[in-house]
Chains A and B, each alone.
Chain A
Amino acid sequence: MTEAIISILGISILLYVLLGGADFGGGIIEFFAGRKGADIISRAMAPVWEANHIWIILAVVILFNGFPMVYTCITTYLHIPLLMVLTGIIIRGAAFTFRYYHTGADSIYNYYTSFFRISSLITPFFLGIVLGAIMLGRIPVTPEGSFYHVFLFPWLNLFAVTTGIFVTLLFGWIASVYLIGESTGNTFPLFRQTSYRLFIMLIISGLTVFLASEYYQIHLFMQFRQTFISMFCVVFATILIPFLWIAISQKNVLRTRLLAGTQTACIVTGWFAVQFPVMVYRAGGNNLTVWNTQATEKTMYLLLVALGVGIVIIIPAFAYLFKIFKFSNVHVK
């Protein structure tokens, strides 16, 4: 039962990365895309971003319902980066909508655009910081000690920053791949070029995460070798790189999207496999695991029922939404 709930948590995080992440990525891409690109991004995001965004709410709810200590540990010790994540979420959502429904002067449009773009960088970066901090094992067990030691030290370090950059680039890259399918006419080369650039940066940034992990003695590479799933994910993701490279150049929308989705799924699943059953690495090895934080059986059972029914309802509805807006017009000239 716990495994089933953890799997659903994993799926919601993965879907948040693939869908919600891409919407933040859209804002990041806009830095390179110009007004024409911005219009395409707006049109592509508008019908789906709110639904995409809810995957993170689902993940939060699963955490505080099923694994309350994990939720309170993160919200207590990673308060500051989470507040930044939220600030980004508020400004991004609001600025995007305000811009979409703006009818007046261009100067105001430009303000909204700046807020939209900058906030689209803030949220993924600090989400990545939170992930880095969870892996690093500096989160204290009790809030005793100096402010720096308790509330900054766990996340304010090079490792968390490298994961922050990695997540940001990942979101941007996913968006660039999806946008190839949304592009029309002369914007195609633009998105393709962005996609290539971000792809290279993403690979380099992935390597720096591994290097930083060596420096901080958490040996991510060794950890990835320890389970079959994580090893498989790393190898498979690496094999996919050249195929993706070719697919991006060939304008095959569906294939590129599938490959990029698989690639991302490999990264996220590999990370899950490395992490499991630990949910938060804490200082001194007092880690929070799936097993020592889960709620009682009855709570877990009812949570699973709610999630099960939810998924039966949501997945078809989601598929329908995407069918209407994403797959009825996939064509690139």
Chain B
Amino acid sequence: MDNLLAARFQMSVSFIFHIVFACIGMAMPWLMFVAEYKWIKTGKEDFLQLAKAWSRGVAIFFAVGAVSGTVLSFELGLLWPKFMEHAGPIIGMPFSWEGTAFFLEAIALGIFLYGWDRVNKWVHLMSGLVVGTAGVVSGIFVVSANAWMNTPSGFDWVDGHAINIDPLKAMFNKAWFQQALHMTIAAFASTCFAVAGIHAFLLLRHRDHPIHEKALRIALTFAAVAAILQPLSGDISAKNVARYQPAKLAAMESLFTTSAPAPVLIGGIPDTSSRTVKHAIRIPGLLSFLAHGNFHAEVTGLDKFKKNEWPPVPIVHFAFQIMILMGMIMAVAGVMHLYFLVRKKKNPPGKWWLRMLVWITPAGFIAVEAGWIVTETGRQPWIIYGIMKTSESVTPMPGITYSFYLITFLYFSLAGIVFWLLRQQITTLHSGALNEKKT
């Protein structure tokens, strides 16, 4: 395998793996926090048991997330040394802030997981809040560094060197807010729908188990709010991408020719050689509206870019379609949940609702992965948009194929074990042996 391709694959695998744990690390602490808060308020033991059960899951996910995050901090240099040599001083600052946030998260999580009988319950509850807040904040810092790669700012690029570096301007680049918002909401939607799905599944099996109903309600409420907000945030993002990364938007929508008005495509198979899209449903003018707020506005197509500067159109297009589809499914489920919540006394939903929730368990994570594929693949062939190509920054070290195999093997094994361990935890929960176990 070509070294550049291997390096890109290794980076993809590392991100695809890590982002799941990162999302869980951002959102899950809030669920534990709410469960514990309810326990303190109502005194119902079920909430305490739920908080503890969730916290055991978080411990496993957080550990794997922490080590895979460490790997990424090294991989930036192991795979893309030229990039880091220039980008380090420009976007290192958000990482140094992220370090603090991550420290706080790890410290607070230590107290939350192992301090049940060592600190008083309010201190304990606060430690949960710190975990959640620090998790979200550290996510925002990292995403702002990624946003800089898409909309680089805070420096002047002269003869292959960055001068007049302003890290503050770089951090608060044109896309940081849109990306951070979209990612934070996505973390909640994906994690909470997954949690809800698992509890819905368990509720179907163990109708009378007291904690699943409560778990489902907490998780689904977070999930619903996030899923309903996400299309709005997506709209803000789309307008930002249209303005600052037109090639990416054109690839997302497979818009080969600059058009006014431009249609939105649903589905479709783009063919880059003939520059056409087959089998797509076209909604005329909608892309003009979504991108620029006007049904007749001109939207830049791929024809405005040299062909060797096109992102891989089909991948970006398919990933984008998948993300939108998953987002819509979740938004509908979110609205339904809120509706049931309001009218629950009259007719609570039946088993079909639980079954549906089970089906959409992975929807959020699929959307997150697809969304990141859009962001990252859509920026290609650039690593810093318009400034440095990915191929220029790859390491001179040959044989990256082998490290790609190694990392892939490790991550697949870990994913398998985490899945199995989670099942084991759930089984233990139902055998009732958990109360006697160490907490």
B residues whose Cβ falls under 8 Å from a Cβ of A:
56, 59-60, 62-64, 66-71, 73-74, 76-78, 81-82, 84-86, 88-90, 92-93, 95-100, 102-104, 106-111, 113-115, 118-119, 165-168, 395-398, 403, 406, 410, 414, 417, 421, 424-425, 428, 433, 437
B84 touches A64 (CB 8 A): yes
Interface of A: prevailing SS: helix
Query: Which of A83-91, A194-202, A204-212 contacts the other chain?
Result: A83-91
Least CB distance from B64 to A in Å reads 6
Chain B contacts for A295, CB-based, 8 A: 88-89, 92, 165
- The residue on A at minimum CB distance from B66 is A50
A143 to B168, CA, bound (A): 34
Least CB distance from B419 to A in Å reads 12
Least CB distance from A142 to B in Å reads 9
Given known contacts A83-B78, A101-B421, A104-B424, is B93 in contact with A302 (CB within 8 Å)? yes
* Interface residue from A75, A299, A317 paired with B165 (Cβ < 8 Å): A299
Q: Does A217 contact B (CB under 8 A)?
A: no
A296 to B154, CA, bound (A): 13
- The residue on A at minimum CB distance from B98 is A61
B71 touches A94 (CB 8 A): no
Chain A contacts for B90, CB-based, 8 A: 299
Given known contacts A54-B99, A303-B96, is B73 in contact with A61 (CB within 8 Å)? yes
Q: Does A158 contact B (CB under 8 A)?
A: no
- The residue on A at minimum CB distance from B433 is A103
B395 touches A97 (CB 8 A): no
Interface of B: prevailing SS: helix
Add 17 more A-B contacts to A72-B88, A90-B67, A103-B437 (CB < 8 A).
Answer: A46-B114, A51-B106, A53-B70, A54-B103, A57-B99, A61-B73, A65-B96, A68-B86, A75-B74, A76-B77, A89-B70, A94-B67, A98-B421, A296-B89, A306-B93, A313-B100, A314-B107
B165 touches A298 (CB 8 A): yes
Q: Does A307 contact B (CB under 8 A)?
A: yes
Q: Does A66 contact B (CB under 8 A)?
A: yes
* Interface residue from B63, B66, B78, B106 paired with A82 (Cβ < 8 Å): B78
Given known contacts A64-B84, A313-B100, is B166 in contact with A298 (CB within 8 Å)? yes
Given known contacts A321-B110, A325-B114, is B63 in contact with A306 (CB within 8 Å)? no
Q: Can you list 27 pairs linking A and B with CB atoms under 8 Å apart? A: A47-B110, A50-B106, A56-B70, A57-B99, A57-B102, A58-B96, A60-B73, A61-B95, A65-B95, A68-B88, A71-B84, A75-B395, A79-B395, A87-B406, A89-B71, A97-B60, A97-B64, A101-B59, A103-B425, A143-B397, A295-B89, A295-B92, A307-B96, A313-B100, A314-B107, A317-B104, A317-B108
Q: How many interface residues does chain A have, given as a range?
A: 35 or more
B100 touches A309 (CB 8 A): yes
A151 to B397, CA, bound (A): 7
Interface residues of A in 302-324 (CB under 8 A from B): 302-303, 306-307, 309-310, 313-314, 317-318, 320-321, 324
Most buried by B among A46, A86, A96: A86
Given known contacts A51-B103, A60-B74, A298-B165, is B93 in contact with A83 (CB within 8 Å)? no
A-B pairs, top 5 by smallest CB distance, nearest first, are: A65-B92, A75-B77, A310-B100, A68-B88, A295-B89
* Interface residue from A90, A98, A303, A317 paired with B103 (Cβ < 8 Å): A317
Chain B contacts for A54, CB-based, 8 A: 66, 99, 102-103, 106
* Interface residue from B66, B410, B421 paired with A87 (Cβ < 8 Å): B410
* Interface residue from B92, B111, B414, B421 paired with A66 (Cβ < 8 Å): B92
A101 touches B60 (CB 8 A): yes
B111 touches A83 (CB 8 A): no
Least CB distance from A40 to B in Å reads 13
Contact mask for chain A residues 37-54; partner B; CB cutoff 8 A; 1 contact, 0 none: 000000000111011011
Least CB distance from B173 to A in Å reads 15
A93 touches B66 (CB 8 A): yes
A234 to B437, CA, bound (A): 48
Most buried by B among A72, A87, A147, A325: A72
A residues whose Cβ falls under 8 Å from a Cβ of B:
46-48, 50-51, 53-54, 56-58, 60-62, 64-66, 68-69, 71-72, 74-76, 79, 82-83, 85-87, 89-94, 96-98, 100-104, 143, 147, 150-151, 295-296, 298-299, 302-303, 306-307, 309-310, 313-314, 317-318, 320-321, 324-325, 328
Least CB distance from B6 to A in Å reads 13
Chain A contacts for B98, CB-based, 8 A: 61
A102 touches B107 (CB 8 A): no
A303 touches B114 (CB 8 A): no
A115 to B118, CA, bound (A): 31
* Interface residue from B77, B118, B165, B397 paired with A325 (Cβ < 8 Å): B118
A72 touches B77 (CB 8 A): yes
A65 touches B93 (CB 8 A): yes
* Interface residue from A50, A318, A324 paired with B63 (Cβ < 8 Å): A50
A310 to B406, CA, bound (A): 35
A64 to B56, CA, bound (A): 34
A260 to B107, CA, bound (A): 24
Chain A contacts for B81, CB-based, 8 A: 72, 75-76
Chain B contacts for A50, CB-based, 8 A: 62-63, 66, 106, 109-110
Chain A contacts for B115, CB-based, 8 A: 47, 324-325
B410 touches A299 (CB 8 A): no
Least CB distance from A108 to B in Å reads 9
- The residue on B at minimum CB distance from A299 is B89
